[in-house]
Structure 1
Amino acid sequence: MQATWLVGGIGLFFGFSALSAGQIHSAAHWVALWSVGGVGLLSFVRHAVFHRSDAVRMGWDLGKRNDFQLEVGFANLAWGLVAVIASFLGWGTTALGSLVLVFGIYMLQAAVLHLFESGRTRQRPRAGSKFVNLVFAVVLLWFAFAVLT
């Protein structure tokens, strides 16, 4: 999980640096490649390849394979691969910004779902992680709108 945050943070750091310098396409490229592509690929590995240890980390271990978790991993793989391909094939600022927007919407929905989950239990497992995911989603959405408008 920490590797995912690091990769996403690298994209946002250099993306916001480029954005503040007025380099819109470069900013979109950094965030799409690292914060969508890198995060998506790492999330695939975490959710699908290492699904059992990830389920234990999240407190969702069912004692068997959870196909829904694999499905989430495959969705992350799809976004991640498309973002990497779009970045290397030069699909343009609008395509890259749209990928960031789609991933931001997905991450916001996941973050809200996890926050509702916290509200249903007295224990607050992974509270810090849930907050980071919410912040990441909001920053991705803000960034997408800054690039696309």
Structure 2
Amino acid sequence: MVFWVPLIAYAAVILLTALSFARQPAPRRLIDLARALLRYINLFPVGLMGLWGALGHIVFPAQAAAAIGWATSPFQTEVGLANLGMGLAGVIAAFWRDWGFRAAVAVMMAGFLGGAGINHMVEIAKTGNLAAGNAGPILYTDLLTPLLLVILLALTYRSDRAARP
């Protein structure tokens, strides 16, 4: 599962963004595409993957640790609870169109996922840990998700901030 969930999450982003953009009335604008991508990245890679991470670390800690190539640790409960908060924030950000809230979620994800992605690379270099939860698709999505959030927020900044009362 740890191999497939990130791939499925991004497949859902691409599919739902394409459907959403295709349903937009003409003329379709780049800003509409950016907003749809931002929504579905918050919903799937941030929201649902965060909830999935919470479930794994809290309910199935031995399996989650093994997938990462680590020993089980009591800290997994704390990581799971952090994942729970981030997952809930991502789901809210997907449906609540406040730019500032989405920016706060992106900053949180840059710290957590970006840091996790860097840590995965350090683990690979130091220990050769090529477990699916350390060196598989999760490594790439840990780096890609916050990067895309920041880029999409930059693209939508002017129009979304101007729309506020």
What TM-score do the two structures reach when normalised by structure 2?
0.70
Q: Which amino acid aligns with 1:37?
A: G
Mapped contact 1:15–1:31 kept (Cα < 8 A): no
2:24 maps to which residue?
none
Q: How many Å apart are 1:36 and its aligned residue?
A: 0.4
Q: Which amino acid aligns with 2:152?
A: V
Selected match of 2:70 from 60, 65, 70: 60
CA distance, structure 2, for counterparts of residue 142 and residue 14 of structure 1: 20
Please identify, of 96-105 and 50-59, the stretch whose mean Cα deviation from structure 2 is larger.
Answer: 96-105
- Of structures 1 and 2, the one with the larger relative CO (CA 8 A, separation 6+) is 2
Q: How many Å apart are 1:48 and its aligned residue?
A: 1.2
2:151 maps to which residue?
146
Mapped contact 2:69–2:134 kept (Cα < 8 A): no
Q: Does residue 24 of structure 2 align to residue 22 of structure 1?
A: no
1:5 maps to which residue?
6
2:163 maps to which residue?
none
Mapped contact 1:10–1:34 kept (Cα < 8 A): no
The structure with the larger Rg is 2
Q: How many Å apart are 1:40 and its aligned residue?
A: 0.2
Identity across the alignment (%): 24
Q: Which amino acid aligns with 1:22?
A: I
Mapped contact 2:16–2:40 kept (Cα < 8 A): yes
Q: Does residue 38 of structure 2 align to residue 31 of structure 1?
A: no
Q: How many Å apart are 1:80 and its aligned residue?
A: 0.3
2:139 maps to which residue?
134
Ranges in structure 1 where 5+ consecutive residues have no aligned partner: none
Ranges in structure 2 where 5+ consecutive residues have no aligned partner: 22-28, 155-165
CA distance, structure 2, for counterparts of residue 83 and residue 137 of structure 1: 14
Mapped contact 2:47–2:91 kept (Cα < 8 A): yes
What TM-score do the two structures reach when normalised by structure 1?
0.77
Mapped contact 2:68–2:132 kept (Cα < 8 A): no
Going from structure 1 to structure 2, the CA distance change for 1:147 and 1:80 (only over 3 Å counts) comes to same
RMSD: 2.7
Going from structure 1 to structure 2, the CA distance change for 1:38 and 1:86 (only over 3 Å counts) comes to same
CA distance, structure 1, for counterparts of residue 116 and residue 137 of structure 2: 12
Q: Does residue 82 of structure 2 align to residue 80 of structure 1?
A: no
CA distance, structure 2, for counterparts of residue 21 and residue 111 of structure 1: 29
Please identify, of 103-112 and 20-29, the stretch whose mean Cα deviation from structure 2 is larger.
Answer: 20-29
